[in-house]
Structures are given as C-alpha cells and as structure tokens.
C-alpha cells in the first residue's frame, strides 16, 4: 500500500502515469491523494478503476468521475474542491465530507449506499433529476447543503441524522440548507419509513425551490425549533405534508417564522 499523489496543477486523465507521483497510477491497495494547489485543474477518471482511499484536499481540484470508481476500506475523504460524479462510485466503507467540499451529481452519477458523515458546510448538488440512498450524519454545529438545478428533482432516500442522540431525528445546533440562491429545483426528502424522522430541531435555512416531504413524516406532529430564510424569491413549499407542525418549547412559533414565505399543502 502506497500514497500516490497527483503530480501538479495540470489537468489530465487518471489513467496516465505521468500525472502521478512517483510516476505510477494508484492501484486497489493505494491511497490516491489529490492536494496540489495553484491554478484550477481537473483529474478525470477516464477508465474504471479501484483504489483503497481517495483523498481530495485542494480547493483548486476538480475530480471528474467519468468511469466507475471503486473505493476500498479507506473510502472517500473529501475536504476541499469539486467532485463531478458522472458514473458510479462504489464505496466499501464510508464517505467523509468536510469544509466546503462540493459534489455535483450528473444523470449517471451515483454515490452507492455508503454512509456519509458531514462537517463544515459541504454541498451535494443534483444537476439533473437524481437520487441518493446514503444515510447522512451531520455533526453538531455543522451543516450540509442540498441543491437541485432548475427543472431537476433531487430525491434524498436515505436517513438524515443531524447531531442526534438517536438515529431518527434532526437535532442540535446545526444548519441544514435546502436550496441555495439560484438553485430553484426540487429537493424531495422521503426516506421511506414513517418512523424515520419524528422531529426536526435544528435550523433549516430555506432558499429557492421546493422541499417535498412525503410519507416519511408520521401523522404525529413534526417539531421544528427554528426556521430562517436566506434568499428571495419566497417560493419555498412543503408538499404532501401528512403530519402536524409545531414549535418546540421556548422556540419562536413556526407559523410566525414562516409568515409570508412558507406554504404547506396537503
């Protein structure tokens, strides 16, 4: 097992040994480390490949997954940069997202079923209608962003666990953002079980687009301790909402927080 480094701030294909230091393409037991700084560059996975760990740690790096990539026990450690997912990523362990790491999902892109842990404010963006089934955990005082471009629907089919003491809620001093400015598509959160989410007790920052929450919410009340808006236009909607809605004790009443910009449809 060795650590093979992307050699320079120069774009090129993953399969070319000239793009790696010490002059060899990383193999299934190796760590592929992409951390070169400088001008923006793209590392393109052009053929199906396997490595033990993919570690991306440069805000200048764009990693373009154009062929299937299999990651072993090391998984994916993604700290800075942009990951364009246009093929399958098969992860045999876990995906760690931190700081401002950003994943962009294309039409054929998939993240498999590996659990995702998030810290900082990483983002996952659907550039066309797509879905992920990963269970996502966000640590306290951190957050995660889900975006969908105009005309796209982003289906979140895994469980979202934010700084929770149990596995079935969104809790804590964290921030979950559905729709940054300019992303007017639909985010659909429906993990498929009525018991998956019983409460939301964190800050939900709402921007553009639509948030759909289907039968994942039980008929019991959905508790929301804080809502805030970060952009206009005020077109944020929850559709097909089956439960009630209330504010947690001591929190600002949600209907007041929502006021003129939030709509619930049955």
- On the question of pLDDT at 12 being above 70, the answer is yes
Cα 133 to Cα 71: distance, rounded to the nearest angstrom: 17
- CA torsion sign for 158, 160, 166, 168 is negative
Asked if 107 contacts 87 with a C-beta cutoff of 8 angstroms, the reply is no
pLDDT value at position 102?
97
Strand-pairing partners, residue 138, are 118, 162
Locate the domains of the chain by residue range: 3-264
Q: If you search the block for the tokens 């003129």, which residue do you land on?
A: 260
- Give residue-wise pLDDT tens across range 189-233: 665 443 334 344 444 555 556 665 544 343 333 444 444 444 333
Strand-pairing partners, residue 82, are 62, 102
The pTM assigned to this predicted structure is 0.79
Least confident of 63-67, 93-97, 146-150, 207-211: 207-211
Least confident of 138-147, 190-199, 257-266: 257-266
Band (5; pLDDT cuts 50, 70, 90): very high
pLDDT value at position 115?
94
Average pLDDT of 18-45? 97
Strand-pairing partners, residue 80, are 57
pLDDT value at position 224?
42
Cα 209 to Cα 102: distance, rounded to the nearest angstrom: 19
**Percent of the chain scoring above 70 in pLDDT:** 62
Band (182; pLDDT cuts 50, 70, 90): confident
pLDDT value at position 136?
87
């Amino acid at each position: 097992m060795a650590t093979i480094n992307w050699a320079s701030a120069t774009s090129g294909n993953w399969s070319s040994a000239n793009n790696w230091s010490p002059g060899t393409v990383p193999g299934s037991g190796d760590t592929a480390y992409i951390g070169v700084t400088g001008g923006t560059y793209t590392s393109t996975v052009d053929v199906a490949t396997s490595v033990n760990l993919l570690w991306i740690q440069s805000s200048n790096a764009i990693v373009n997954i154009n062929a299937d990539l299999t990651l072993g026990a090391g998984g994916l450690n993604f700290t800075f940069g942009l990951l364009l997912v246009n093929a399958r990523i098969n992860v045999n362990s876990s995906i760690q997202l931190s700081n401002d790491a950003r994943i962009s999902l294309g039409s054929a892109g998939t993240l498999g079923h590996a659990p995702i842990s998030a810290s900082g404010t990483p983002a996952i963006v659907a550039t066309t209608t797509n879905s992920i089934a990963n269970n996502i955990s966000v640590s306290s005082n951190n957050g995660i962003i889900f975006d969908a471009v105009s005309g796209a629907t982003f289906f979140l089919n895994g469980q979202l666990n934010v700084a929770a003491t149990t596995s079935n809620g969104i809790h804590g001093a964290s921030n979950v953002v559905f729709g940054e400015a300019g992303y007017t598509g639909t985010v659909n959160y429906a993990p498929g079980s009525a018991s998956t989410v019983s409460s939301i007790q964190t800050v939900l920052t709402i921007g553009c687009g639509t948030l759909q929450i289907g039968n994942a919410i039980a008929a019991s009340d959905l508790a929301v301790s804080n809502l805030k808006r970060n952009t206009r236009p005020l077109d944020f909607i929850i559709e097909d909402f089956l439960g009630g809605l209330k504010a947690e004790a001591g929190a600002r009443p949600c209907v007041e927080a929502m006021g003129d910009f939030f709509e619930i449809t049955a």
